[in-house]
């Protein structure tokens, strides 16, 4: 890997972080310019990094530029890693543009990430990557952030899995016909075949003494004279130096790019009182907790009405709670998709379409699309407000205040966001694990936050608690115990995975630059929000839709074919298989298959668990009567609540895990682990409480 960059771009520091103590120093062949090489082993692959001399371009106007350019086109490096100074992107983007015109196998590292935010500089990394067509990674060599992502990007480009296929093509306007004419000559006479013909044509028009020398040595001086004649004629015709026109076009390309991807905002002075509160060991946690509770209550109230609707119910304001839930974003999305479903079903029936096909389109495809889109408002709101926290400088202070507490469980202060968000919904909780300081911590969070009870599981907990426990004190105690057990399991899971899977005893090193508090830029906030949300739509959306169709098949087909009766479906047969397992809890035989069926529905979406029980108990009784009809005693009800709360939350959560982990085997491991923990713990609770109740 060739490492290129301007002087003072942070190349030496990053090179040392990448290669550690392995660097060897020598000279480039035939010259006195220093050559440094180092090795890094990552995922059983050995990376050999070669530090090129610091240059501002590859025009071969100095010895350093000749050395850098000759090595890049020598064919030796698989990938060229080009550094851009994050604190001066306008000045340092010119070099990667020049290199991209020469070769496509490039990875760009935007350095000094720890300083850019502090200086009020925001760079839209995803857009820069999209515009240039090569991976762009933000790194901080001082903090060690972004190094893993950088190595992954290099590995992907070297393996031809990411990046460009051809060099970058800049539009040089009125010079394009002349460039094409010279390019044809170069191809016709096979001049300098090791370089791209267009790049050679542009360089010769700019005036490149090194290339001219190589052409003369190859015995093609007559061809060079012809090209110089074309160049001279063009210069006389245009009245300007061609090299100047080309350089201006390239700088204009960089300027336009910078206007799209860089935002600079004025930063304000820090407020001392604010700093003192956040940095106080106890007051910081208390203040931050209140702030986050209010903050995420706002997020989830806008999306689904929760937790304000629950509070209204407890206060006896049921109509207000129902109104809030109905006019929340989730409620409105439900209304919209119900309307679409009914309209399309009616339309298809009017054309005498087969019932099974109508059911597939409405209950399978449209419901699946609705399931994906119903998460979108929550994700956008969550990430919009998180981006405000991040961009304003508050996020770093909140993380700092929790670091001391969470480090006792092998996590850093930044882990507080995925944990708190998961109380509302596990999907954005898992996605926000990307804010973790290191890869091991990120995976710890992905493994553990699905145990945090979300609002869907709260519905199940409330339904069972109110049905099987008459005293309000007992109901509150049951809810408290279920939440306590879930959080302990989540924290223990995180600690165990860190200690035994990653062989680490210490919490992540919490190195975090505290930026000044300032007014967030809406442009930057939208960049961050949309980048997070679109990844979910692209990857998890397809998985959710596919699984929704599989589930439709299980619920609407049985041994006798298509059926409207869930009791005759394959899902009901699977529920019967689970009846033996549920007998371990002492569940009555006649109720066991219903709960087994509900467990399958709960895997799809936890709210569906209660709905399934109510449906199979006749569909006319209210939820409380339907649950009581199962004939459970309080011990069985509480044990099953532990099971319902701890096993896999829903299909979208599985999709989010798969998206973030990227491996089917690890995703399956997490699912099996959650089932194993849920079954073992709920059976243990059932056994202990049964003995105590005798």
Phi then psi dihedrals of residue 76, to 5 deg: -70, -45
pLDDT of residue 615 exceeding 60 = yes
Statement: residue 293 has pLDDT above 60: yes
Q: What is the pLDDT of residue 136?
A: 93
Taking only the tens place, the pLDDT of each residue in 323-332 is 777 777 777 7
Out of 21-30, 71-80, 390-399, 550-559, which region has the weakest mean confidence (pLDDT)?
21-30
468-492 b/e (C-beta count within 10 Å ≥ 16 → b):
bbeeeeebeebbeebbebbbebbbe
Which pLDDT value is given to residue 679?
Answer: 92
8-state DSSP, 268:
P
Q: What pLDDT sits at residue 362?
A: 83
Q: Which is higher by pLDDT, 401 or 198?
A: 198
In sequence order, the β-bridge partners of residue 338 are: none
The predicted pLDDT at position 513 comes to 60
Query: Whole-angstrom Cα distance, residue 653 to residue 427?
Result: 5
CA-closest candidate to residue 609, choices 625, 626, 621:
626
Identify the H or E element spanning 238: helix 221-238
| Residue, of 454 and 451, whose pLDDT is higher | 451
Binned at pLDDT 50, 70 and 90, residue 335 comes out as confident
Least confident of 95-104, 182-191, 507-516: 507-516
pLDDT of 295: 73
Give the SS3 label for residue 512. Answer: coil
pLDDT at position 339 = 86
Higher pLDDT, 288 or 441: 441
pLDDT at 143 over 90: no
> Which of 47-51, 194-198, 427-431, 509-513 is the least confident region?
509-513
Could you tell me if 110 and 90 are in contact, meaning their C-beta atoms sit under 8 angstroms apart? no
Residue 529 has pLDDT above 80, yes or no: no
Kindly write down the DSSP assignment for every residue of 318-386, as one continuous string.
Answer: HHHHHHHHHTSHHHHHHHHHHHHHHHHHHHHHHTT--HHHHHIIIIIIIHHHHHHHHHHHHHHHHHHHH
Find the mean pLDDT for residues 155-166.
89
Handedness of CA 384, 385, 390, 393 (dihedral sign): positive
> How far is Cα 300 from Cα 381, in angstroms, rounded to an integer?
9
Mean pLDDT of 402-427: 80
pLDDT at position 417, please? 77
- CA 331/CA 309 separation, integer angstroms: 12
Overall pTM > 0.75: no
Residues of the chain with pLDDT > 70, as a percent, come to 88
How many CB atoms within 10 Å of residue 168? 21
- Mean local confidence (pLDDT), 80-98: 90
Residue 169: per-residue pLDDT: 92
Q: Does the pLDDT of residue 455 top 90, yes or no?
A: no
Highest mean pLDDT range out of 155-159, 607-611, 648-652? 155-159
d(CA 293, CA 311) in angstroms, rounded, equals 14
Q: Average of pLDDT values for 62-83? A: 83
In the prediction, which pLDDT does 97 show? 92
Report the alpha-carbon distance of residue 324 to residue 100 in Å, rounded.
Answer: 54
Rounded distance, CA 530 to CA 379, Å? 9
Confidence band, pLDDT 50/70/90 cuts, at residue 541: low
Instruction: Give φ, ψ of 219 to 5 degrees.
Output: 80, 20
Does residue 25 register a pLDDT over 70? no
Helix (H) or strand (E) holding 615: helix 607-616
How many whole angstroms separate alpha carbon 484 and alpha carbon 489? 9
> What mean pLDDT comes out for the span 483-491?
90
- Between the CA of residue 276 and those of 45, 183, 282, 283, 509, what are the distances in Å? 46, 65, 11, 9, 22
* DSSP per residue, 24-92: EEEE-TTS--EEEEEEEEETTEEEEEEEPPP-S-SS--SHHHHHHHHHHTTS--S-EEEEEETT-HHHH
Percent of the chain with pLDDT over 90: 14
Residue 608 neighbours by CB under 8 Å, 6+ apart: 598, 601, 602
The length of the chain is 694
pLDDT greater at residue 486 or residue 144: 486
Which two tokens mark 194?
A: 């090791």
561: number of CA atoms within 13 Å, CB side? 3
Average pLDDT over residues 86-113: 90
**Average pLDDT, integer, range 531-535:** 68
Q: How far apart are CA 40 and CA 20, in angstroms?
A: 8
Answer for the pair 342, 355: CB distance below 8 angstroms, yes or no.
no
Report the alpha-carbon distance of residue 11 to residue 123 in Å, rounded.
19
Residue 236 reports pLDDT greater than 80: yes
Two tokens, residue 26: 């020598």
Contact (CB, 8 A) for 622 and 459: no
pLDDT digits (tens, 9 = 90+) for 252-272: 999 999 988 888 877 665 556
* 681 pLDDT more than 90: yes
Q: Taking all residues of the chain, what is their mean pLDDT, rounded to a whole number?
A: 81
Instruction: Look at residue 610 and tell me whether its pLDDT is greater than 70.
Output: yes
Q: Is the pLDDT of residue 106 over 90?
A: yes
Query: Three-state DSSP class for 121?
Result: strand
Asked if residue 317 has pLDDT above 90, the reply is: no
Does the bond joining 307 to the residue before it have cis omega, within 30 degrees of 0? yes
Task: Give the contacts of 541 (CB within 8 A, at least 6 positions apart).
Answer: 372, 655
Q: Which two tokens stand for residue 432?
A: 């926000």
Closest by alpha carbon to 530, among 387, 330, 371? Answer: 387
- What would the two tokens of residue 368 be? 């699946």
3-class DSSP assignment, residue 557:
strand
Which sign does the torsion angle of CA 355, 359, 365, 369 carry?
positive
Residue 518, beta-bridge partner list: none
Q: Which two tokens stand for residue 655?
A: 């999709």
> Measured between alpha carbons, how far is 115 from 30 in angstroms, rounded to an integer?
39
- 450 contact partners, CB below 8 Å, separation of at least 6: 422, 426, 430, 648, 649, 653, 657, 670, 674
- What tens digit of pLDDT does each residue of 634-663 get? 899 999 999 989 988 888 888 888 888 878
Q: How far apart are CA 511 and CA 413, in angstroms?
A: 11
């Amino acid at each position: 890997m060739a490492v290129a960059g301007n002087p003072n771009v942070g190349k030496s520091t990053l090179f040392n972080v990448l290669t550690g103590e392995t660097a060897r120093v020598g000279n480039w062949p035939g010259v006195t310019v220093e050559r440094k090489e180092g090795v890094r082993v990552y995922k059983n692959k050995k990376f050999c990094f070669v530090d090129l001399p610091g240059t501002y371009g590859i025009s071969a106007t100095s010895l350093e530029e000749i050395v850098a350019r000759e090595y890049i086109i020598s064919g030796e490096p698989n990938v060229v890693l080009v550094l851009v100074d994050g604190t001066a992107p306008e000045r340092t983007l010119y070099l990667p543009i020049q290199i991209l015109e020469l070769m496509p196998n490039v990875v760009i590292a935007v350095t000094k990430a720890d300083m850019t935010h502090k200086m009020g500089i925001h760079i839209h990394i995803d857009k820069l990557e999209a515009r240039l067509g090569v991976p762009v990674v933000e790194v901080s060599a001082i903090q060690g952030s972004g190094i893993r992502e950088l190595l992954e990007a290099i590995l992907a480009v070297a393996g031809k899995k990411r990046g460009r296929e051809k060099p970058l093509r800049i539009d040089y306007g009125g010079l394009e016909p002349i460039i094409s004419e010279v390019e044809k000559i170069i191809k016709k006479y096979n001049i300098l075949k090791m370089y791209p013909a267009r790049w050679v044509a542009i360089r010769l028009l700019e005036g490149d003494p090194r290339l001219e020398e190589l052409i003369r040595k190859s015995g093609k001086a007559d061809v060079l004279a012809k090209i110089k004649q074309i160049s001279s004629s063009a210069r006389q015709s245009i009245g300007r130096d061609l090299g100047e026109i080309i350089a201006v076009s390239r700088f204009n390309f960089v300027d336009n790019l910078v206007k799209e991807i860089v935002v600079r905002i004025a930063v304000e002075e820090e407020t001392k009182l604010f700093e003192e509160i956040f940095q106080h060991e106890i007051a910081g946690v208390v203040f931050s907790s209140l702030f986050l509770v209010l903050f995420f209550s706002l997020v989830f109230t806008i999306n689904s009405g929760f937790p304000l609707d629950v509070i209204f119910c407890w206060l006896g304001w049921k109509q207000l709670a129902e109104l809030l839930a109905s006019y929340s974003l989730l409620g409105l999305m439900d209304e919209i998709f119900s309307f679409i479903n009914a309209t399309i079903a009616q339309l298809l029936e009017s054309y005498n379409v087969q019932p099974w096909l109508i059911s597939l389109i409405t209950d399978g495809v449209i419901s699946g699309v609705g399931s994906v889109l119903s998460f979108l408002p929550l994700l956008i709101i969550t990430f919009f407000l998180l981006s405000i926290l991040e961009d304003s400088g508050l996020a770093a202070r909140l993380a700092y205040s929790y670091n001391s507490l969470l480090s006792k469980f092998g996590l850093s202060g930044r882990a507080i966001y995925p944990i708190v968000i998961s109380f509302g919904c596990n999907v954005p909780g898992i996605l926000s694990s990307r804010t973790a300081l290191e890869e091991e911590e990120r995976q710890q969070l992905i493994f553990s936050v699905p145990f945090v009870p979300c609002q869907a599981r709260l519905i199940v907990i409330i339904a069972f608690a109110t049905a099987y426990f008459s005293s309000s004190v007992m109901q509150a105690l049951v809810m408290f115990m279920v939440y306590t057990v879930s959080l302990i399991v989540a924290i223990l899971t995180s600690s165990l995975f860190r200690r035994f899977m990653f062989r680490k005893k210490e919490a992540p090193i919490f190195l975090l630059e505290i930026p000044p508090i300032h007014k967030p830029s809406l442009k930057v906030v939208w960049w961050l929000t949309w980048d997070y949300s679109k990844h979910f739509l692209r990857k998890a959306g397809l998985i959710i839709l596919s699984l929704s169709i599989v589930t439709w098949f299980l619920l609407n087909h049985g041994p006798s074919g298509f059926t409207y009766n869930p009791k005759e479906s394959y899902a009901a047969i699977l529920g019967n298989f689970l009846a033996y397992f549920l007998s371990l809890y002492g569940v009555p035989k006649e109720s066991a298959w219903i709960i087994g069926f509900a467990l399958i529905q709960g895997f799809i979406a936890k709210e569906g668990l209660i709905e399934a029980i109510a449906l199979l108990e006749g569909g006319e009784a209210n939820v409380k009567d339907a649950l009581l009809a199962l004939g459970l005693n309080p011990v069985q009800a509480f044990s099953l609540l532990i099971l319902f709360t701890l096993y896999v939350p829903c299909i979208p959560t599985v999709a989010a895990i798969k998206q973030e982990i990227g491996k089917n085997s690890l995703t399956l491991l997490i699912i099996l682990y959650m089932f194993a923990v849920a079954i073992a713990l709920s059976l243990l609770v059932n056994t202990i409480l049964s003995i105590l109740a005798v």
